[in-house]
Amino acid sequence: MPKNIYFSFVGCNELDKVSILQEVEKILNIKVKVISSVKDIEFAYNPHRKQYLASEILKYAKKFVPKDKNILFLLIDKDLYEEGFNYIFGESAGNVCVVSIHRFKPCTKIDTEQEKELLKERTVKTIIHELGHSFGLPHCDDPTCVMYFSNWVGDTDHKSKYFCKKCKEKFVNYR
């Protein structure tokens, strides 16, 4: 189990950050801390795609991970991609993770409580999913498990924010 999980935000002004992190702590029974690390990700921007390359962000972020079994988790408000994919919601590279809220927004401006709650739910599920990878969990074939691969936002909406029984056992054994 990592010593600490550090969260850093690039943008994401529409997020209820405190509420999201409290939910992550509750679901995983872990403590998280907020730090200011990566402030600018423009180096990863691909003008031809009008998106940001997740693997470049993760490679850069590794130098900001506090040493000794810690995880740095970046939440950003930019559209992510990886080679071979039109877009991605997030990616894990061991001790660094990145999740974009860009495609989780039900509209261009979050106005209502219902829109805020939908953005929060999608964000929490994807955080748990990517942390699951950092803890060594693979994708799951149960479409209701948080470790199920989300091909589109409908998959994220359909799945739970919790591990299925099989994945929960693996997670507990990892800890």
Distances (CA, A) of 80 to 1, 4, 19, 64, 162: 28, 25, 24, 20, 24
The CA distance from 121 to 115, in Å, is 10
Question: For residue 57, how many C-alpha atoms fall within 13 Å in the half-sphere facing its CB?
Answer: 35
- Give the tokens for residue 47: 């003008």
Q: Do 153 and 170 form a contact (C-beta atoms < 8 A)?
A: no
Q: Do 120 and 20 form a contact (C-beta atoms < 8 A)?
A: yes
**Residues known to be catalytic:** 130
What does DSSP assign to residue 130? Answer: H
Q: Do 52 and 87 form a contact (C-beta atoms < 8 A)?
A: no
